[in-house]
Structure 1
């Protein structure tokens, strides 16, 4: 009986065990499905050979387990090997794979650590390409080197010793600047600035070293360090490239044309320096895809591909505070937001006061105080902010959508009161300057050799001012608006490894409004203009790395609807490496511009921002056209860099009101041209952690206005000689820069005598010598900056910066003009000076 009971117990246990086993089997699913589920939960990718995992069917791990716990579970259940690559990619392989003659690896962009798809991997006559995760496998038939190449990236050679490692390789490719071109000179002036084979200067603010006077990677201040680019007004709202005016430069932010480029009326760049920008600056030979400018092109683009990892940063200096954040929304999508705001609402620092004095000297606001007799008081409020946002989303393997938005805003409110001869006079002044922009971009990769970019953009600019003379009950209102909408289509076709053909179409509609309104006496003027332009673009690029020849020939055909006019604009870029260290470059271009700035009256908008955007009308306001050619020599060896560039530039169709005359031509509106012939040089030497450079620029820049008595005279923006020097030390986390700049004075026009001409009693005037008959004194300034960066144990980075502009506090005169003082009945000599000694301090945190 006892024996029978034992049989029952054993039978029961056996059946129960089978039942449990059956239940486990019922919960078991294919390993491939488990891996796909883990991918979605932890935002990672598995790489495997289907034949090796198809045989496995197991109970999935609990979802509450961590990623590492799940991997350990799968390894025990399958005896497979799981190799974790940076918690992003996991290779799955068996003992058979380890023992085979295969190699595997991942290819990433060094710029943002993103995986690269369709990278060419060559190995002893065999080859393959990476998948969407940047992963590849290749049979190791013979020991040799591996060649990794990808369009837009520098080709990399992997040595034999690296291939002996059984683990998958991690290969990082360096981006070739602009995604297309090789670099001729790296560390141009400092780290983060490069000179490329197509004649473009490329700036990477995130990698930017340090420059004299700068503690943050200010886009436009950095631009002013390049030979041939300067500002006679010490303002980034008045950047002169080879003698041109500021409005003749094309400023693009993620494909959006920007009509406002500075805060504080030109003392601070309007573009957040802490975004992951790539800035391309072209002085000549610009791509045919760029129109609407007769001078340089400044193309700023924040990175749309950096979707891996979240980041945060915040900083403050003695002018503004900023914040930056980027976070992943989906596997292939991220949102990036950045903003800056002035701190003058809370505290007025010494830096703010120096900037304020520089921006508002000799304006109608400060002149109001000159009439004071007994009492004078002023309540001033000035602030600015800018906000940028980007949403990037990849869909599948071939489509990529990006939306960009930017807003820039400056506000000035000044209430002034003074008592003159027992009479109280008050003014309430308000000025707003705004620029909004949005761009929707769609990139489609049709196949390995064909891709397209489609953009729809809009840019809106507005400048409003209102002056209220309280005692007279007079209100003066001024307004300047621009609305710029457009569509761009660009196609790229890789014909061969050496030749690429690009073509496209652009449509652009620009509307401007200029308004002047006075309530007493009643005056009202409102002018609205609209121009629509179509453009067809073709471009062929030949780049032979063996013969060291780069050749790009492009053409742009513009059609302006209103004038029924066609404009043909050829473009040329040529570079030949004569030797390993010596390059010859030839650039040329024809360009045109329909929208530019003029000055009706020097006192418009209180004399602070007196320029108005207008449109060409084809007659009294012609289309501006330019032609330019240059030939350059580049020599690099043993950390020496030497550049020499000769150029010729001519711009026709300029209107005198666009040149800022403050002499006998101030109220005369005539058309003419200017012609520039110049030389630009740079000598640079890098010694370990120290870089020093000396640059020189010369230009002979003259106007030609045929309808005046002396038709040829010096350009208002002519600086005969410009010399800059810097010494930069960078080691580990410490950066120090000391530099100076010297240039000959800008032209001015002097009166013939100190007596006022009353030949027309209702309109007294000043009798002048010939235009720009004299030059101001030489300009000289020394600047210093230093930064130090450190990192805490929890990977938070801190950065402290200190700078001093105009170390020796030199009083440099940057402008001089003359006006009639109606109170004293005399001619006043009005001078404008550069910034005096201005310190700045910054602190930044990033993680």
Structure 2
């Protein structure tokens, strides 16, 4: 009821503004497509700016733009990072004017937007709030760990984005856990975004076109996660000529080939990256010589241009990781073992068809399939096991877009998703003492539909009004436990089980998810924005470790585990200075979470057949302030950002065993109040680029023992037993790190006819070798005083050297 009143008020106010603006000057709609002159690729995020009226927009995912201005003669600037800008004198007299533009790459550009989260004017002119865009050219300038350009690590330089520590998978966005981020690669969701347990991301830099992180005012077409959307788009294959690129580094090497198969009809891109580093451990300390750490991934994209109005694309991705340690320190299974072999892989494919009815109306349809599989293998004969889990995701969806009315950009669509979850299957070896276990599979379906209108009410006021509806069905075959009424959920109080046949509906959840974004421009360089969105999450990651491993357990909503529901409001002020040379922004947000998930003390997650007895749900809240200032042009570019953010949970219940911290509010594992990031790039000439980035943040929360007691049982030699009281009431020391890189490019003026281009990148990660604490643990040696120890993942400086090439 509150949501309905809210929307009616907004619509009434919008109608009043429209009716009060009068007829005014006759306007003309300018529209068209921006493409790469060399490859023919449609360029998303290119800037289109009318100089005289200081009004602009950006191209969408298909390179299309549309802009309404008063009739007249104008100079229109078309630009994008790393391309020569195009100035066109256009006379706008008719109702509609079509202008298609091709942009050429510019290797001589010194005053380019070297590092930016968007385009000049975008932060002021776009209606969306809490959105950041990173062009792959920008990401490549950020100093990388071991020379490996990392999309996920680059996001940590943005305000509102943190992680629990180095070498961990996933990111935390505005107080959300890592599973609350919907990560898409050409519309296919990824359930693990890292290689080698978080050291590198799964995205190959040579195949990525751009990255968009939506963390506030999320469009209605997205759903299924409670915190943010990370949309990674792959490059379109070069349809004009064959080309290639790649690099050779200390950790991994890569090669990308692309070009036409059938001229102007069919083209493809193939990017391969591999890391085989076992030889590095052979020459290291004896304790590490049995360690294995390698991965590879393959990214493939096909483009079939059916005709000038239709295209068909296929994007495929496959990755595989193997990680072996000579101990069981990472094993989540309570088994004594001399070594553990961890493996995980992702296979995904997206088939997408787009039909442009005309220049302003289009249809899209997509079929998506993703499979993620994780395994833990312990080879010891007496304790040999193979623990396997997997997720299968299937999605069929369509979308309609209409730009016929220059004041309205209408979008709508629907889709259906199928989930198949294999929680864990434990298979013992032929001589193992371990008993087998096969946890029941989970099946579910999700239906959704959405409608959205980007409505330009006046020249200074615009709104994006969206509504999404989702319906989730937990399906059989399934066996549901029924517990004694009036008491807590526990394994020993199951009174009966209820069996559901295959396809039968076990439990349903669903509801409306309203979305709203408002923009009010206060002149050409200043705007105020506000946003609201509700998100529902039906698939959840369950872990009782500080940093969830790629082998952690996923589960769907059930009669006992409810979907998480997040409501977020945000408000921002955006101001550009000196012809958009400088951008500044300030945003505040507040988020309320229903059914936030946490675990019981001492919970067994991995091999628990009654998972609902090990987890708890309650309320969550997150709020924060995000400040950012950027310099976009010149020999020196970069940004500085500061974030104040808090995240709290409350798990309360009538039963003491189902409370955390006695039912009081407590900070989440990933709560970091203060974060400061600074990034700068200096390009003194065409051949040298120097980059620095610095980060400083509060230590994350931790739980330290309140005391200890000693057992003098001779069988355990007087072990010290820690006593824990409240959760997450302490903090590890603050985190800070400086990185540096220098890039030497081939002189483009010396041999301009050469097709082979190369560069060398030297980088230093953690320049001053600071030993940042990942965790604090205690040495409980028998008959000894308890000692605190600090675990550092990267406790020294890490140099790297990478050779990149392009032809």
- Shorter chain as denominator, the TM-score bin is 0.7 to 0.9
Q: Show the counterpart of 1:230.
A: 162
Choose which of 539, 556, 562 in structure 2 pairs with 1:622: 562
Q: Alignment partner of 2:179: what SS?
A: helix
Q: Cα distance, 1:625 vs. partner?
A: 1.2
- State the Cα deviation string for residues 603-660 of structure 1 (Å, max 9, x = none): 9xxx9645212212131x2211111111011111122222111000122212213999
Q: CA 1:160–1:320 in 2, change beyond 3 Å: closer, same or farther?
A: closer
What does residue range 112-131 of structure 1 map to in structure 2 within 5 Å?
114=40
Separation (CA, whole Å) in 2 of partners of 1:774 and 1:645: 28
Contact 2:344–2:551 (8 Å) recurs in 1: no
What does residue range 143-182 of structure 1 map to in structure 2 within 5 Å?
158-159=88-89, 171-172=101-102
Q: Cα distance, 1:287 vs. partner?
A: 1.3
What does residue range 381-396 of structure 1 map to in structure 2 within 5 Å?
381-396=292-307
Choose which of 325, 330, 344 in structure 1 pairs with 2:257: 325
Q: Show the counterpart of 1:647.
A: 589
Choose which of 687, 694, 698 in structure 1 pairs with 2:644: 698
Q: Alignment partner of 1:677: what SS?
A: strand
Separation (CA, whole Å) in 1 of partners of 2:767 and 2:418: 47
Q: Show the counterpart of 2:14.
A: none
Separation (CA, whole Å) in 2 of partners of 1:617 and 1:656: 16
Q: Alignment partner of 1:656: what SS?
A: strand
Q: CA 1:830–1:436 in 2, change beyond 3 Å: closer, same or farther?
A: farther
Q: Show the counterpart of 2:469.
A: 557
Q: 2:172 matched to 1:253?
A: no
Q: Cα distance, 1:733 vs. partner?
A: 3.0
What does residue range 420-819 of structure 1 map to in structure 2 within 5 Å?
427-470=338-381, 473-513=382-422, 514-518=424-428, 519-543=432-456, 547-562=459-474, 563-599=507-543, 609-619=550-560, 621-638=561-578, 639-657=581-599, 669-685=615-631, 688-707=634-653, 708=659, 709-730=662-683, 731-756=685-710, 766-790=722-746, 791=748, 792=751, 793-817=753-777
Separation (CA, whole Å) in 2 of partners of 1:377 and 1:256: 37
Q: Whose helix proportion is higher, 1 or 2?
A: 1
Contact 1:802–1:841 (8 Å) recurs in 2: yes
Separation (CA, whole Å) in 2 of partners of 1:658 and 1:691: 48
Q: Alignment partner of 1:515: what SS?
A: strand
Separation (CA, whole Å) in 1 of partners of 2:601 and 2:399: 35
Contact 1:406–1:438 (8 Å) recurs in 2: yes
Q: Cα distance, 1:599 vs. partner?
A: 2.1
Bigger RCO (CA 8 Å, 6+ sep): 2
Q: CA 1:542–1:715 in 2, change beyond 3 Å: closer, same or farther?
A: same
Q: Cα distance, 1:461 vs. partner?
A: 0.4
- State the Cα deviation string for residues 502-540 of structure 1 (Å, max 9, x = none): 111110011111223444142423221011010011111
Q: Cα distance, 1:478 vs. partner?
A: 1.4
Q: CA 1:667–1:788 in 2, change beyond 3 Å: closer, same or farther?
A: farther
Contact 2:164–2:670 (8 Å) recurs in 1: yes
Q: Show the counterpart of 2:9.
A: none
Separation (CA, whole Å) in 1 of partners of 2:693 and 2:408: 43
TM-score, scaled to structure 1: 0.71
Q: Structure 1: where are the runs of 5+ without partners?
A: 1-105, 123-133, 135-142, 162-168, 176-184, 358-374, 418-424
Q: Show the counterpart of 1:205.
A: 136
Q: Cα distance, 1:347 vs. partner?
A: 4.8
Q: What is the alpha-carbon root mean square deviation over aligned residues?
A: 4.0
Q: Cα distance, 1:679 vs. partner?
A: 0.4
Q: CA 1:426–1:432 in 2, change beyond 3 Å: closer, same or farther?
A: closer
Q: CA 1:240–1:437 in 2, change beyond 3 Å: closer, same or farther?
A: same
Q: Show the counterpart of 2:59.
A: none
Contact 1:192–1:209 (8 Å) recurs in 2: no
Separation (CA, whole Å) in 2 of partners of 1:530 and 1:345: 39
Contact 2:182–2:225 (8 Å) recurs in 1: yes
Larger radius of gyration: 1
- State the Cα deviation string for residues 332-353 of structure 1 (Å, max 9, x = none): 2201000100031455699xx8
Separation (CA, whole Å) in 1 of partners of 2:313 and 2:728: 49
Q: Alignment partner of 1:427: what SS?
A: coil
Q: 2:288 matched to 1:341?
A: no
Separation (CA, whole Å) in 2 of partners of 1:766 and 1:288: 48
Separation (CA, whole Å) in 2 of partners of 1:259 and 1:377: 29
Q: Cα distance, 1:400 vs. partner?
A: 0.6
Separation (CA, whole Å) in 2 of partners of 1:338 and 1:480: 28
Q: CA 1:493–1:149 in 2, change beyond 3 Å: closer, same or farther?
A: farther
Separation (CA, whole Å) in 2 of partners of 1:111 and 1:221: 31
Q: CA 1:317–1:273 in 2, change beyond 3 Å: closer, same or farther?
A: same
TM-score, scaled to structure 2: 0.74
Contact 2:737–2:766 (8 Å) recurs in 1: yes
Q: Alignment partner of 1:680: what SS?
A: strand
Q: CA 1:768–1:220 in 2, change beyond 3 Å: closer, same or farther?
A: same
- State the Cα deviation string for residues 351-372 of structure 1 (Å, max 9, x = none): xx8xxx9xxxxxxxxxxxxxxx
- State the Cα deviation string for residues 300-351 of structure 1 (Å, max 9, x = none): 111337522221112111110000000101122201000100031455699x
Separation (CA, whole Å) in 1 of partners of 2:725 and 2:558: 32
Contact 1:108–1:114 (8 Å) recurs in 2: no
Separation (CA, whole Å) in 1 of partners of 2:762 and 2:688: 12
Q: Show the counterpart of 1:295.
A: 227
Contact 1:109–1:174 (8 Å) recurs in 2: no
Separation (CA, whole Å) in 2 of partners of 1:758 and 1:322: 57
Q: Alignment partner of 2:769: what SS?
A: coil
Separation (CA, whole Å) in 2 of partners of 1:784 and 1:243: 29
Q: Alignment partner of 2:152: what SS?
A: helix
Q: Alignment partner of 1:465: what SS?
A: strand
Q: CA 1:115–1:548 in 2, change beyond 3 Å: closer, same or farther?
A: farther
Contact 1:315–1:322 (8 Å) recurs in 2: yes
Contact 1:727–1:738 (8 Å) recurs in 2: yes
Q: Cα distance, 1:454 vs. partner?
A: 0.4
Q: Show the counterpart of 2:60.
A: none
Contact 1:710–1:770 (8 Å) recurs in 2: no
Q: Cα distance, 1:298 vs. partner?
A: 0.5
